Structure 1
Amino acid sequence: MEAPPEPELRIRLQGFTRPELYSVLGAAAGSLGLDWLLYERLLPFSGALGFLLCWYLLFLVLYFGVGRLQWDGRVVREKMVSALAWSSGLLVVGLIADQIGYVAARGLHAAVHLNFLTQSMEHTAALSPITSGGALNAIAGSLEQLGLATLFAVPLGIAAAVFMSEVGGRFARPVRTLVEAMTALPSIVAGLFILGVVILTLGAEKSGFAASLALTVMMMPIVTRAAEVVVRLVPGTLREASYALGGSQWRTVWNVVLPTARPGLVTAVVLGMARGVGETSPVLLTSGFTARMNLDPLKDHQVSLPLYIWNYVKQPYPDMVARAFAAALTLMVLVLVLFVTARLLGRRGPGR
């Protein structure tokens, strides 16, 4: 009489069972104790970074050993990959939380004062109290420069993406090569280009408009690459249906392709804006620095938040450094608002 076949072992792809949770916690606790024993009693090791790295490696080894005692090799491999994926995600989240927490701890006591959002630094000296002066001029300058750069970069970037994906031809490859080369362009080179061509050659003065041109050079290839990818993802059957109904190529692109790809295009625009809003060196070379409010981007120097941070964080006065960190916190909030806005706009369906 043949023995009955063993029941098939199913792998649970989502969630944790109680034995799996106990295995993870036991491996984490055991590796922590072993790591402490190595660092404090046996080996001449020191340093928090090395301690954490050694703990992580010991955790993987112990988790693998505990898994081999319970599951077969296939399940153990799946659990190890899950552990690596989870730990990588937690590491990224931890690094972001550490950066936000450090900036908030250094600058929150300056940002909570109303004058920080309602005053400029025109009448504030280096030793003035934290209740004097603010970053209103830098916030206004960043919004104006970013708005102008977006106005220039988005139409050019989307037009280039449509040309490469919809029109094509023998010029598509050189354009794509140029865009890829511009993607890796150092930001200071973009600032030097605008400084040499617009300011020194054409005689324009340093201003917010010149800074927006430098940001346009940085944003346009980002928008173009991302927009080309999402435009290529539009199903070809939609284009064929439009052509079958008598639509021209232009009307197909305008009424079918772009509305279908709108969520991805919004993401492309936000990626470009996130790249431009934090640039310092192009703005330093093209807009100059000023402590007063300047709402005219076409005339005189205009400061932005990255330039404001760069100028004040290096000063030896605690209140100036606190203002710089408060401006960095404001910049983080501005980027968060951009991403939330993009998510809300991207949720709306085509044609709405």
Structure 2
Amino acid sequence: MAIYDRRRRTNATYLALCYMAAIFGLSWLVVILATLFWQGMQGMSLAVFTQMTPPPGADGGLLNAIVGSLIMTILGVVIGTPLGMLAGTYMAEYGRYTKLTFVVRFINDILLSAPSIIVGLFVYEIMVARMGHFSGIAGAVALAVIVVPVVVRTTEDMLLLVPGPLREAASALGLPRNLVIGKVAYRAARAGLITGVLLAIARVSGETAPLLFTALNNQFFSTNLNAPMSSLPAVIFQFALSPYKEWQQLAWAGALIITFAVLALSIVARVLGAQRTAK
């Protein structure tokens, strides 16, 4: 009995330590979110969504930064999603056991964990330095490079979860392999594929370093992809470091907008993931 009592005491001790660690981590998260919400709501107003970024000491908003972020994020997702889905489809359906798949999977895992500033430097070298100027298209390409590995991993994992008998039944009816993938495998994994895209959007929506090296920033409203373009993360970085109170309030408001956007995307991804699991 003594050994069982000792094991119960040990288990209770480690369980208490786990709870304490969880509470400690969650308490700091609550403090951060509460501070962000309090400071962000003080700078939130209709002008944030209708006016341009102001000069020092003046009132203004974040319209150009929000539009620039939306343009580059959407373009980056449009570029990166098809590439990621095609690569993930090949790895799961055509070359599951080939050496190329193992190499691509290894490189993809490295890209998933690589610092985003490395991606910014890479795109700066191959695009910005050769073009001779910063541009919105370079920022979109940098975001696309970040999107690709997320979509590749999600696509491969979701397609591998599709039961083999579904493919075999479709093939028995005479469907060629491309239609089996498009009509059966994709439909079965649709919720998971959409979840992967949403997670990729959430990942790139707050990236700052790649945009500083590629799109830089622009105080004025611009939709020209061949010129420097404003973005919400870059404006937050610039305004948060400034000594002007108006800029600091706008930085808090911009951070709150990004947080709510990422939270909304994460909730939608969780809901879709729960639906896929239930099915």
Q: How does 1:301-312 map to 2 (within 5 A)?
A: 301-312=228-239
How much has 1:183 moved relative to structure 2?
1.8
Mapped partners of 2:140, 2:80: distance in 1? 10
Which of 158, 164, 183 pairs up with 2:85?
Answer: 158
CA deviation after TM superposition for structure 1 residue 226, in Å? 2.3
In structure 1, which of residues 190, 214, 219 is the aligned counterpart of residue 147 of structure 2? 219
Rounded Cα–Cα distance in structure 2 between residues aligned with 1:211 and 1:274: 16
The reply on whether 1:107 has 2:40 as its aligned counterpart is yes
2:176 to 234, 242, 248: 248
> Which residue is equivalent to 1:39?
none
Answer whether contact 2:147 2:200 (CA < 8 A) is retained: yes
In the alignment, the residues of structure 2 paired with residue 213 and residue 95 of structure 1 have an alpha-carbon distance, to the nearest angstrom, of 35
Q: Which has the higher helix share?
A: 2
**In the alignment, what sits opposite 1:192?**
121
2:30 corresponds to which letter in structure 1? A
8 Å CA contact 1:309–1:325 kept in 2: the answer is yes
Q: Measure how far apart 1:170 and its partner are.
A: 3.5
Q: Which residue, out of 101, 104, 114, partners 1:175?
A: 104
Q: What is the identity, as a one-letter code, of the residue corresponding to 1:238?
A: L
Counterpart residue type for residue 283 of structure 1: L
**Among candidates 236, 245, 250, match of residue 318 of structure 1:** 245
What is the CA–CA distance in structure 2 between the aligned matches of 1:91 and 1:255, rounded to whole Å?
Answer: 48
Task: Let me know the Cα RMSD of the aligned residues.
Answer: 2.5
Q: Aligned pair in 2 of structure 1 residues 267, 109: CA closer, same or farther (>3 Å)?
A: same
Structure 2 CA distance for partners of 1:183 and 1:347, relative to 1, 3 Å:
closer
* Counterpart position of 1:142: 69
Q: 2:67 and 2:152 mapped to 1: Cα distance?
A: 27
CA gap of 1:235–1:78, structure 2 versus 1, over 3 A, is farther
Q: Name the CA distance, whole Å, in 2 between partners of 1:91 and 1:241.
A: 52
- Note closer, same or farther for the CA distance 1:77–1:320 as it changes in structure 2 (3 Å cut): same
Of 181-190 and 299-308, the range deviating more from structure 2: 181-190
Displacement of 1:87: 4.8
Question: What is the alpha-carbon distance in structure 1 between the residues aligned to residue 132 and residue 261 of structure 2?
Answer: 30
2:154 and 2:196 in contact (8 A); partners too: yes
Q: What does 1:274-313 correspond to in 2, within 5 Å? A: 274-296=202-224, 298-313=225-240
Q: How many residues align?
A: 273
The TM-score normalised by the length of structure 2 is: 0.87
Counterpart in the other structure of 1:228: 156
Alignment partners' CA distance in 2, 1:204 and 1:229: 40
- Alpha-carbon offset, residue 89 of structure 1: 4.8
The AA in structure 2 aligned to 1:194 is V
**Unmatched runs of 5 consecutive residues or more in structure 2:** none
- TM-score normalised by L of structure 1: 0.70
Q: Any conservation in 2 of the 1:263–1:347 contact (CA below 8 Å)?
A: no
Q: Tell which structure's C-alpha radius of gyration is larger.
A: 1
Q: Structure 1 residue 72: deviation in Å?
A: 5.8
Q: Report if the CA contact (8 A) 2:89-2:156 is conserved.
A: yes
Q: Deviations over 1:261-294 (max 9, x none)?
A: 1222122112211221111111011112111111
Deviation per residue, 1:171-213 (Å, 9 max, x gap):
2222222212222322122112211112222x26422211010
SS in 2 for 1:301: coil
Gaps of 5+ in 1: 1-67
Structure 1 residues 226 and 204, CA, compared in 2 at 3 Å: closer, same or farther? farther
- Could you tell me how far apart the structure 1 residues matched to 2:172 and 2:13 are? 52
1:266 and 1:346 in contact (8 A); partners too: no
Q: Is the contact between residue 262 and residue 346 of structure 1 (CA under 8 Å) also seen in structure 2?
A: no
Which of 20, 29, 32 matches 1:96? Answer: 29
